[in-house]
């Protein structure tokens, strides 16, 4: 999958250093994946949430952090829409961000 944009992850881990290794690990797994739909994603990330409107929510570092991606499986692309703490996530609408 092509992930747009890694710089969003980098900016986040610069602010939250304990997130660097988990985010890099997530990136490497997703980058190598050839998923065709959310069921494929669930095989590798059992805790991923399908929230609608082509968005998936990944739990990072034991659910301390969240990543929301807009999916375009047809084009093998994930657009990072949000990276934040669990409390920041609780204040947004994952289906519209």
Which CATH number characterizes residue 7's domain?
3.30.2310
To 5 degrees, how large is the angle CA 73–CA 32–CA 71? Answer: 20
**Which structural domain, as residue segments, surrounds residue 52?**
2-89
Contact, 48 vs 38, CB < 8 A? yes
- Give a yes or no: residue 25 inside a domain: yes
Q: To the nearest whole number, what is the mean pLDDT of the chain? A: 96
Contact, 16 vs 86, CB < 8 A? no
Query: Quick one: pLDDT at residue 76?
Result: 95
- Give a yes or no: residue 69 inside a domain: yes
Residue 31 main-chain phi, psi, to 5 deg? -60, -35
Query: Quick one: pLDDT at residue 38?
Result: 95
Contact, 89 vs 12, CB < 8 A? no
If one counts the domains in the chain, the total is 1
Query: Quick one: pLDDT at residue 3?
Result: 96
Handedness of CA 69, 71, 73, 76 (dihedral sign): negative
Average pLDDT over residues 71-82: 96
- Give a yes or no: residue 96 inside a domain: no
> Could you read off the pLDDT of 13-38 as tens digits, one per residue?
999 999 999 999 999 999 999 999 99
């Amino acid at each position: 999958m092509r992930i747009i944009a890694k710089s969003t992850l980098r900016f986040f881990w610069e602010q939250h250093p304990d997130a660097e290794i988990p985010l890099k690990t997530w990136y490497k797994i997703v980058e190598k994946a050839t998923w065709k739909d959310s069921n494929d994603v669930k095989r590798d990330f059992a805790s991923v949430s399908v929230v609608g409107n082509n968005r998936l929510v990944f739990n990072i570092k034991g659910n301390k952090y969240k990543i929301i991606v807009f999916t375009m499986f047809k084009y093998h692309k994930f657009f990072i829409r949000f990276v934040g703490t669990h409390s920041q996530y609780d204040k947004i609408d994952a289906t519209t961000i």
